[in-house]
Structure 1
Amino acid sequence: MTALAERAGAPPVHRAPSRRRWRGARLAPYLFTAPALLLFAAFKLYPIAWAFWLSLFKTDGGLQTFAGAANYRRLVADPLFWSALGNTGIILVVQVPLMLALAIGLAVALDSPLLRFKGFIRLGFFMPMVTGLVAYGLLFAILLNPQSGLVNWVLGLAGIGPVPWLTHGLWARVAVGLALTWHYTGYNAVIYLARLQALPQDHYDAAAVDGAGAWQRFRHVTLPGLRPVVLLTLVMSTIGTLQLFDEPYVMTHGGPDNSTMTLGLYLYANGFKFFDFGYASAIAYALTVIIGILGLVQFKFLGDRP
């Protein structure tokens, strides 16, 4: 009958898909995403929820007892927590802006048409990022050793006395900041370089026609063009700094006199040295809240504006 209708010029009759096929088509996306969702729930959501549950318990004599918000009240009155937060804040406020400023300058230099062997030089600046955290932390601990380090030996040749890099509070912070800057500046510079190469050349040509000099082009064309990636790197650097653990653990163990004790290191000490997992979980949630607040502030002031 359908064939006769088609021969007669009538429109073909399309059969509606069966209910089973229609149901299978609706379930297909969920079936494909189910493995990823299950892994996310098992390795992300469950640990997050369990950590919050642990933060409501305290450890007494190896036994855990329900304490409600006692760990959070203890957190507010803990001077070592505030000291660790202050040390982390100093690194965040001093080292991160310096590192990002150096990365922007390095990216502009690497984008220069006058630079030769660009690929080799860019690879050289990116290579520190490939180095493992523990490996480069040990490297800097050896280089900055106050007694036998190469840095103090070179300073001695210049007539400068030995610097107590790892044994003085101020210089220990400087040492950690130098290590972080060496490791992450090239990485951020590569991100900025990718953005610079995507900026339209017409903007620079128009600015040059209007009589803008090199500094004015950098200020009014380059920096506004870099704004999205500056926000990205700032947020990533903030999160990484607030979670800082490997470098101070390897280089200074939080010393001297807790001058390089960071929030990540303090969390580790409570959880895996003193086995006070409830208090460590409370520190982790406090850290999460701090990261969230700073992220919102950064998006507020550097995000896209109408």
Structure 2
Amino acid sequence: MGGGQGATGGRGAGRGRRSSASGRQTAAAWILTLPFVVLFLAFTAGPVLGSLGMSFTDLRQRDLRTPFAVNGVGFDNYVKALSDETFRKAALNTAYFVLVGVPLTLALALAAAVLLDRGVKRFQSLFKVAYYLPVITSIVAIAVIWRFVLAPESGLLNTVLSWAGIDGPNWLASKTWAMPSLIMMAVWRNFGSAMIIFLAGLQGIPATVEEAGQLDGAGSWQRFRYLIVPLLRPTILFTSVTTGIGYLQFFEEPFVMTQGGPLNSTVSVSMYTYQQFGFGNYGVATAMSYILFVVIAVITFIQFRLLREK
């Protein structure tokens, strides 16, 4: 009996030591994560919740000295944003930019990745760097290059078109061609990032997969369509989500190249929201920001539903 009691006491003491050690580990973990928690609450969660509350008030620039004296207006700011003709125009411009730009970017990125993976063996690293370089290049430097390319009289593109007897337009000053010009620039600037991800996905597919398809008599296109693309579904999902989110928030291209013109034909939702902040319409501007946030969340959810692994 004494031995049984000793064994029971030993097990209880062991559990107590383990519990004490677990408590110390938990305390140490919280101490280590405390700086992040404090910074997250102060600079992320706090401002996000504050801006959400701001979107339901009539806060303007003149109210900054007395921010707690503003009045609640319910959903009036959201109604004003959705009834704003320029905001609706900006939403259509953004939709145009995304619906054309994202498929072009992904298609070009996938084509370049396939060529680098299957066709180009020598100097592959050089091509990777060359394609990725625009991603890390300043938008100001890119704007200088593209202004030279798209200049109406002495631009490189119109010069090449003149050799074929075509009189090129004033690309950035045309309501018809300004947005396609920005899309071309965005695709050129961003496809390198998606290409690197696609290339990693292609190189992660075992060679035996294609060999099995080839033994079954499948041609190159059939192997790519029915074997490679399904295996790339997670990669396609990731690139489409990240590219789509970036394009829905596009701001730098019109801000630097066209200032939203001509006649608001290139103004985006992000740019118009920025302008409203500049005008001091903080309540309406934050409402526009959250409308864009909801749209991004819905589109991302749809992409996950359509492109998830089956």
Unaligned runs of 5+ in 2: 1-6, 64-69
Identity rate of aligned residues, in percent? 36
Q: Does the Cα contact within 8 Å between 2:172 and 2:181 map onto a contact in 1?
A: yes
Task: Indicate the residue corresponding to 2:104 in structure 1.
Answer: 98
Query: Residue 172 of structure 2: SS of its match in structure 1?
Result: coil
Q: Give how far 1:238 is off.
A: 1.2
Q: Does the Cα contact within 8 Å between 2:109 and 2:191 map onto a contact in 1?
A: yes
Task: Indicate the residue corresponding to 1:248 in structure 2.
Answer: 254
* Deviations 1:126-170, CA, capped at 9 Å, x for gaps: 111121223213321332122342322332233221322111112
Task: Indicate the residue corresponding to 2:4 in structure 1.
Answer: none
Q: Give how far 1:196 is off.
A: 0.3
Task: Indicate the residue corresponding to 1:214 in structure 2.
Answer: 220
Q: Does the Cα contact within 8 Å between 1:138 and 1:250 map onto a contact in 2?
A: no
Alignment of 1:1-306 (within 5 A): 16-17=16-17, 23-59=23-59, 62-63=62-63, 64-112=70-118, 115-272=121-278, 274-305=279-310
Give the whole-Å Cα distance in 1 for the aligned partners of 2:142 and 2:102.
18
Residues 138 and 67 from structure 1, CA distance in 2 versus in 1: closer, same or farther, beyond 3 angstroms? farther
Q: Does the Cα contact within 8 Å between 1:156 and 1:162 map onto a contact in 2?
A: yes
- Greater Cα shift, 131-140 or 103-112: 131-140
**Aligned residue pairs, count:** 295
* Deviations 1:110-141, CA, capped at 9 Å, x for gaps: 00155321111221111111212232133213
Q: Give how far 1:44 is off.
A: 1.0
Large movers: runs of 4+ above 6 Å: none
Task: Indicate the residue corresponding to 1:5 in structure 2.
Answer: none
Q: Give how far 1:226 is off.
A: 1.2
- Letter in structure 2 aligned against 1:232: F
* Deviations 1:243-293, CA, capped at 9 Å, x for gaps: 110011001111111110101101101002x11111110000001100010
Q: Does the Cα contact within 8 Å between 2:77 and 2:287 map onto a contact in 1?
A: yes
Q: Give how far 1:59 is off.
A: 4.7
Give the whole-Å Cα distance in 2 for the aligned partners of 1:17 and 1:166.
72
Q: Give how far 1:53 is off.
A: 1.4
Residues 19 and 120 from structure 1, CA distance in 2 versus in 1: closer, same or farther, beyond 3 angstroms? closer
C-alpha RMSD of the superposition: 2.2
Residues 205 and 264 from structure 1, CA distance in 2 versus in 1: closer, same or farther, beyond 3 angstroms? same
Bigger proportion of residues as helix: 2
Q: Does the Cα contact within 8 Å between 2:117 and 2:203 map onto a contact in 1?
A: yes
